[in-house]
């Protein structure tokens, strides 16, 4: 392993601030790793090699270098967010290949903090599905390249898990940060509504989509989230005893869950109980209508994002998804269903501080051309493996995916933590306890191969 590629963002930034290494040296090592490994991973749609090196030099010349929280840290950006000078294609041949004139606000905050954007990462078309593949390639899980990395922030997750960058920016409308993080052994946090600026697509999927970080350690996650939110998420000085509910039942009726994920949740519950928290089994009162509500919002968001695009240049599954969603636009836009769900779940989160549940119901699908397959087949596969993430986009409440244990294949397993609005710092503290008491391997074995 090279001396800087594979290090944490916190380590890199500290070394750059102390002038132990230059931003150019750090970025060059990561670019070399991308060139060596990304052909097997498929994380990036485009790599900004020359531009990134120039940006690294600009960071080195900044008068405030010693104060930059992400000094010289290479980052990857999901290909549905604007990076100045680059087009963002949103995984589609139907989107314009026009360079952005300004950075998205989250990208601007990362750059202001000293980060260097090395490339834009692959996504499924219009970021619709929980697998990442399409006209720009397939993002594979670095732990098991026969499997998809997940979606829709699959390229960003694959880049971090393979050690191509220490941090990546993604977003989450129905689980699009947590799904690939769970597949790829990363820690992520979908912040609550309004914590991080959104501005994703045409209306943020009615306010359900949130931008957030993907990282290999809680320290790095906290660091990047603080930059994105322009608010410091500090560690509590004293550990607070939290009331933690453990839920094992799928929110979507009829979806079964696999044993490795339920085992991970039970073991994580035991770790948190030993750490002094009040942990007990309790299932949230998910309504039977949740699957229908999720489908209506999921498809309606795509209907809005597809407006103005040439349908002939969209994949068939995307066209069908958007056509279905147009039927629900009026009812979804009222927000009534989401408000009823919040009202139903609020008493549960009055009685409990945090919900610990499965991150996924089973491992990710094979790395196959899902974009060439039918809409219904994609819906069934996505719903069967990721029923646990959508409720928390519908409510707008913070939710995390944390690596915990391994699958029989040796790939990472994961659990999910959910909290009330404003509990991001508490969730980070819990995740850090899990990391300390049950550490995970930070990067996939693929990243060690030259």
Question: 199 with 389: CB under 8 angstroms?
Answer: no
Q: Which of 78, 226, 250, 294 is catalytic?
A: 78
Q: Are 416 and 389 in contact (CB under 8 A)?
A: yes
- Closest by CA position to 76, among listed 182, 7, 159: 159
Annotation marks residue 226 as catalytic: no
- Three-state SS for 278? strand
Query: For residue 244, how many other CB atoms are within 10 A of its CB?
Result: 21
Is 152 known to be catalytic? yes
Beta strands in 88-138 (DSSP E): 116-121
Closest CA to 140 of 415, 450, 449, 446: 446
What tokens does 43 get? 């994380």
Q: Of 112, 115, 108, nearest to 27 (Cα)?
A: 115
What is the rounded CA–CA span in Å between residue 193 and residue 20? 39
C-beta of residue 166 within 8 angstroms of C-beta of residue 224:
no
| Cα 76 from chain centroid (whole Å) | 12
Catalytic option among 92, 152, 209, 250: 152
Residue in the structure block whose two tokens are 């999720």:
294
In whole angstroms, give the CA distance from residue 4 to residue 27.
9
**Beta-carbon-side half-sphere exposure of residue 282 (alpha carbons within 13 Å):** 17
Judging by DSSP bridges, how do beta strands 187-190 and 167-172 pair with one another?
unpaired
- Helices H / strands E in the chain, number of each: 16, 13
What distance in Å separates the CA atoms of residue 198 and residue 208, rounded to the nearest whole number?
A: 9
Among 92, 156, 176, 383, the active-site one is 176
CA distance 206 to 334: 9
Nearest of 166, 173, 208, 164 to residue 187 by alpha carbon: 166
Residue 256 bears catalytic tag: no
Query: What ranges in 134-289 are assigned the alpha helix state H?
Result: 154-161, 178-184, 204-207, 218-229, 259-274
CA gyration radius, the chain: 20
Q: How far is CA 334 from CA 50, 197, 207, 295, in A?
A: 47, 22, 12, 16
Count how many residues are written for the chain.
450
Contact criterion met (CB below 8 Å) for 100 and 88: yes
User: Which residues have a catalytic role annotated?
Assistant: 78, 152, 176
């Amino acid at each position: 392993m090279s001396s800087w590629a594979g290090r944490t963002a916190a380590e890199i930034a500290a070394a750059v601030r102390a002038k132990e290494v230059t931003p150019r040296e750090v970025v060059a090592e990561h670019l070399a790793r991308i060139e060596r490994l990304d052909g097997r991973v498929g994380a990036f749609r485009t790599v900004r090699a020359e531009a990134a090196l120039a940006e690294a030099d600009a960071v080195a010349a900044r008068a405030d270098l010693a104060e930059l929280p992400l000094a010289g840290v290479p980052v990857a950006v999901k290909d549905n967010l604007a990076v100045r000078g680059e087009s963002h294609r949103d995984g589609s041949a139907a989107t314009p290949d026009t360079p952005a004139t300004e950075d998205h606000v989250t990208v601007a905050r990362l750059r202001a903090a000293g980060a260097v954007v090395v490339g834009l990462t692959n996504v499924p078309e219009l970021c619709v599905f929980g697998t990442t593949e399409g006209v720009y390639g397939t993002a594979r899980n670095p732990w098991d390249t026969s499997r998809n990395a997940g979606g829709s922030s699959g390229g960003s997750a694959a880049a971090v898990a393979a050690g191509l960058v220490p941090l990546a920016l993604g977003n989450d409308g129905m689980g699009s940060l947590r799904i690939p993080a769970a597949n790829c052994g990363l820690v992520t946090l979908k912040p609550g509504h309004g914590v991080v600026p959104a501005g994703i697509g045409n209306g943020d999927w009615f306010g359900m989509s949130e931008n957030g970080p993907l990282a290999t350690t809680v320290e790095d996650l906290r660091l990047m989230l603080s930059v994105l939110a322009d608010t410091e998420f500090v560690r509590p000085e004293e550990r607070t005893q939290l009331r933690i509910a453990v839920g094992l039942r799928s929110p979507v009726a009829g979806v079964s869950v696999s044993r490795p994920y339920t085992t991970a949740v039970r073991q994580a519950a035991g770790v948190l109980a030993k750490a002094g928290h009040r942990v007990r089994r309790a299932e949230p009162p998910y309504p039977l209508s949740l699957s229908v509500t999720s489908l209506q919002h999921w498809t309606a968001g795509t209907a809005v994002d597809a407006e103005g695009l040439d349908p002939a240049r969209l994949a068939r599954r995307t066209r069908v998804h958007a056509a279905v969603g147009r039927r629900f636009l009026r009812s979804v836009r009222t927000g009534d269903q989401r408000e009823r769900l919040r009202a139903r779940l609020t008493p549960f989160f009055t009685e409990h501080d945090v919900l610990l549940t499965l991150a996924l119901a089973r491992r990710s699908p094979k790395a196959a051309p899902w974009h060439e397959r039918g809409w219904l087949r994609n819906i069934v596969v996505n719903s069967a493996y990721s029923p646990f993430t959508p409720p928390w986009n519908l409510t707008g409440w913070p939710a995390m995916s944390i690596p915990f244990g391994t699958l029989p294949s040796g790939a990472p397993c994961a659990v999910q933590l959910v909290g009330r609005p404003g509990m991001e710092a508490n969730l980070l503290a819990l995740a850090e306890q899990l990391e300390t008491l049950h550490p995970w391997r930070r990067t996939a074995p693929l990243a060690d191969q030259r």
